[in-house]
Structure 1
Amino acid sequence: MSSQKEPVVQSPAPTTVIDSRSVVALLSRLRSVAGQADPLPLYASLREMGDVVPAPWGGFLVTGHHACDEVLRSPDWLALDRAWRARQTDGSRWSTPSSRELEQTLVALNPPEHTRIRRSVNNIFDRGTLEALRPTVQRVADTLLDTLIEHAGDAHADFAELVGEQLPVATVGHWLGLPPEDFDLLRALTHAQAYAQELLPTKRQLLAADDAIRGLREYFTALVARRRADPGDDVISGWLRAWDALEPDRELADENVYSLAMFVVIASLETTSTLLSTMIWTFDRHPAQRAWLRAHPAALANAVEEVFRYDPPIHVTTRYAGRDLLLGGIPITRGEVVHTMLGAANHDPTLTPDAHAFDVTRRARHISFGGGIHYCIGAGLARLEAGVLLEAVLRRLPALRVVAPPTWEPRLAFRRITRMPVSVR
């Protein structure tokens, strides 16, 4: 990497010795329920170790914003593709059914395969698509808030279950033309498969991910077959027509559409469901910010970006070096992995002054959607759902309060709130 492209970051010298026990202790605390509830002090401690920190199991943790941004944007850093996974000796992790299935999705593809898949659907959530979806998202959000109000009565109800979990699956389900009676199944399978993408999954989690990915393959293979037999004007039928023009082998075309449909659904549900609940939880802890935003509704879009910066739904992504590189002055050999700690990088004070503060008046900068060719394909949809729901809550439920701390699942990469009781009066 040339010196012109090398980011200016504060990193320990290559000879600095990092106590691996301290790193392990921090990661263990981050993975705990308590760490998930308040990870920011732990991220600060991790950043104090340097922008590029040796991981106890090999590879590196990247905590600084500039270094993370470099990894996410540069073509020298690659997604964990099939070739990389095949070279790993840890068969228990990288040869599982869930790992093999994810090899086919956009998240694990590099050029030219990644380029071909992305071009087949172009920008699937372009401005026109999002504006066409807006009335549906608004209708669903209002219906879900009606249900929340009804369940809460004079006591409380679970916002995560009744709203946060429901809006994303109803939105993407409507867009793809999926039966509403399938939504609960898709939610359950999606949450379980996410374990395969965790930083340090347990054996039990990997088994759950394997079961879930088999269920997802069965569901979406059957869905594609139905659309193939009876095509219409729906999104999946459009993808089939696009791939028929690209791929003479119809089985391969159907397989590519299967991977696209599954990936879009799991990416939409797993991340946005938690984002919507953490958004309400964050505003509940910052009532002055909520009051200001209610008085200045024109700042809603900025507020949503600050939510993404402050607590993104994905806190860790992983890449490997496509060649020998330097990152923040640290030599990384070809094939070595680096874990970009997005949650830590978003709170890097070199990126944002007073980064620890939640401030909806700032023009938030973040890398919550990644960068480069792997920039989140559903970023626009997530922004739409968050903005619509936040506006509706501020307008309709000014007295909404979280009555007990949320219940967090102990994870490292994918945040997930499983329960969040609220009152509405």
Structure 2
Amino acid sequence: MSRLRSSRGQSNPYSIYTKLRAMGDVVPAPWGGYLLLSHELCDHVLRSRKWATFDAEWRARQGGGTRWDAPASIMLSQSLQGLNPPVHTMQRRTLGNVFDNATLGALRGPVTRIAETLLDRLAEQLRTAKEADFATTVGEEMPAATISHWLRLPESDHDLLKALTHGQGLAQELLPSKSQLAQANEAAEGLRTYFTPLISERRRTPGDDVLSRWIRVWDEIEPDRAVADEILFHLVMFIVIASLETTSTLLSNMVWVLDQHPAVLSWLRSHPEQVPRAVEEVLRYDPPIHLTTRVATEDTVLGGFHISRDEVVHVMLAAANHDPAHHPSPETFDIQRTESHLAFGGGIHYCIGAALARLEATVLLTSLIRRFPTLRVSVPPVWEPRVAFRRLTALYVTER
């Protein structure tokens, strides 16, 4: 596990997952809790109501002076990912199907224009410098531009939002260090400083944007506007950080994975209609989130282990996506697969932005293979030493 937490380990975590799986489907962790390695058990825990997320009540029971009472951690416990029924059910219902077919249809044009603009920048960098960092030029910028368009946020705020999102993501690591928690706490304060006046401004001058619509919905539900605005803050904050952090990794990782499979990439150029399936296999092969965690709501038995109420299990999503019992020949990149994967989680906490992430990836890859037929990765990517949320910090490409 210490190797997994290094940059080198992140460059190939799957060899480590294979060694873990050899120890069993359920592996006791030395710091407490259990690692779940099989697709069957991971899928079961994500869908079962016997398993909950880290809500405020659970965190309070852990006592003070732990990572769970850090400001960034508390903020997450009040967002959708940190809520359990019935509160989670009610808040999710107020959002409706956020990215339904109508919304995605309306976004396809803007997302396409964003992709083309960013690829223009990439082309210019390749023309002048012969090499460009795809991760910073396209991978990180496209989700920021997309969510900003949807929420009507200024382009000048993209760099700030990306920095705050990456900082807050450290609070969701498996075993964050003190310095990582400090960065996360600073980012949490920055997110509140950014979104609080934004909500106030939209309340003063509401429009037809999505945030203004949420404000109107919550004004009908919650008579106390201070309470409503606090809920709105956590909703919009969560959607922004979820959209930026994971999709940016998906977009850059998509380029890296396909570069490592040139025969598949060549076939895809001749069959662009298969791009959605390629995106799905990238999500299966190396998802943006490698693990998430759940808490037992009652004493139970899982994979032969007795697990007490309030004990945690680490759902190893990426390992489950390479479980040979569910995915034949899991190390083979095969865009014709039909088996389900857990890249977006499962159950009531299934990723709220999954459809938008798929749209962005599909639009970008379709344009990329059309416009850059000789694009290649020039040096191996640089990975941040994380375990839960993968982050590719540099991916240099060139045209050959």
TM-score, normalised by the number of residues in structure 2: 0.98
Does structure 2 retain, via aligned residues, the 8 Å contact 1:302–1:363? no
Determine the structure 1 residue equivalent to 2:7: 33
Does structure 2 retain, via aligned residues, the 8 Å contact 1:400–1:424? yes
Equivalent runs, 1:256-295 vs 2, <5 Å: 256-295=231-270
Aligned-partner Cα distance in 1 for 2:339–2:247: 19
Aligned-partner Cα distance in 1 for 2:301–2:358: 34
Determine the structure 2 residue equivalent to 1:75: 49
Q: For structure 1, which segment, 88-97 or 110-119, has the greater mean C-alpha deviation from structure 2 after superposition?
A: 88-97
Does structure 2 retain, via aligned residues, the 8 Å contact 1:149–1:424? no
Confirm whether residue 190 of structure 1 aligns to residue 165 of structure 2: yes
Report deviation, 1:424: 2.8
Confirm whether residue 150 of structure 1 aligns to residue 124 of structure 2: yes
**294, 299, 303: which one aligns with 1:324:** 299
**360, 363, 374: which one aligns with 1:388:** 363
Does structure 1 retain, via aligned residues, the 8 Å contact 2:326–2:339? no
Equivalent runs, 1:230-269 vs 2, <5 Å: 230-269=205-244
Does structure 2 retain, via aligned residues, the 8 Å contact 1:314–1:368? yes
Does structure 1 retain, via aligned residues, the 8 Å contact 2:79–2:234? yes
Q: Determine helix, strand or coil for the equivalent of 2:310.
A: coil
Determine the structure 2 residue equivalent to 1:225: 200
Report deviation, 1:90: 6.0
**How large is the RMSD of aligned CA atoms in angstroms?**
0.9
Q: Determine helix, strand or coil for the equivalent of 2:2.
A: helix
Does structure 2 retain, via aligned residues, the 8 Å contact 1:79–1:320? yes
Does structure 1 retain, via aligned residues, the 8 Å contact 2:174–2:387? yes
1:292-337 Cα distance to aligned partner (Å, 9 max, x none): 1112222221111101000000001000001111112221111100
Matched residue type, 1:112: P
Report deviation, 1:101: 1.1
Equivalent runs, 1:283-362 vs 2, <5 Å: 283-362=258-337
Q: Determine helix, strand or coil for the equivalent of 2:162.
A: helix
Does structure 2 retain, via aligned residues, the 8 Å contact 1:305–1:364? no
**92, 116, 120: which one aligns with 1:118:** 92
Does structure 2 retain, via aligned residues, the 8 Å contact 1:64–1:345? yes
Q: Determine helix, strand or coil for the equivalent of 1:31.
A: coil
Aligned-partner Cα distance in 2 for 1:219–1:42: 39
**56, 59, 65: which one aligns with 1:91:** 65
Confirm whether residue 406 of structure 1 aligns to residue 373 of structure 2: no
Determine the structure 1 residue equivalent to 2:111: 137
Does structure 1 retain, via aligned residues, the 8 Å contact 2:10–2:383? yes
Report deviation, 1:103: 1.3
Q: For structure 1, which segment, 136-145 or 89-98, has the greater mean C-alpha deviation from structure 2 after superposition?
A: 89-98
Report deviation, 1:372: 0.7
Confirm whether residue 48 of structure 1 aligns to residue 22 of structure 2: yes
Aligned-partner Cα distance in 1 for 2:379–2:292: 30
Aligned-partner Cα distance in 2 for 1:250–1:133: 31
Aligned-partner Cα distance in 2 for 1:239–1:42: 44
Does structure 2 retain, via aligned residues, the 8 Å contact 1:164–1:273? yes
Confirm whether residue 101 of structure 1 aligns to residue 55 of structure 2: no
Q: Determine helix, strand or coil for the equivalent of 1:30.
A: coil
Does structure 1 retain, via aligned residues, the 8 Å contact 2:55–2:82? yes
Report deviation, 1:34: 1.2
Aligned-partner Cα distance in 1 for 2:273–2:396: 29
Aligned-partner Cα distance in 2 for 1:155–1:227: 44
TM-score, normalised by the number of residues in structure 1: 0.93
Q: For structure 1, which segment, 84-93 or 376-385, has the greater mean C-alpha deviation from structure 2 after superposition?
A: 84-93
Q: Which runs of 5+ in 2 are unaligned?
A: none
Matched residue type, 1:234: D
Report deviation, 1:136: 0.7
1:341-400 Cα distance to aligned partner (Å, 9 max, x none): 111010000011000111112225211111110000000001001111111111111111
Determine the structure 2 residue equivalent to 1:14: none
Equivalent runs, 1:356-375 vs 2, <5 Å: 356-375=331-350
1:31-50 Cα distance to aligned partner (Å, 9 max, x none): 11111111111111111111
Aligned-partner Cα distance in 2 for 1:90–1:131: 47
Q: Determine helix, strand or coil for the equivalent of 2:27.
A: strand
Matched residue type, 1:375: Y
Report deviation, 1:29: 1.1
Does structure 2 retain, via aligned residues, the 8 Å contact 1:299–1:361? no
Matched residue type, 1:42: I
Aligned-partner Cα distance in 1 for 2:214–2:59: 28
Identity %: 59
Q: Determine helix, strand or coil for the equivalent of 2:105.
A: helix
Matched residue type, 1:95: D
Matched residue type, 2:324: P
Aligned-partner Cα distance in 1 for 2:352–2:124: 35
Determine the structure 2 residue equivalent to 1:420: 395
Matched residue type, 1:47: R
Determine the structure 2 residue equivalent to 1:210: 185
Aligned-partner Cα distance in 2 for 1:386–1:91: 41
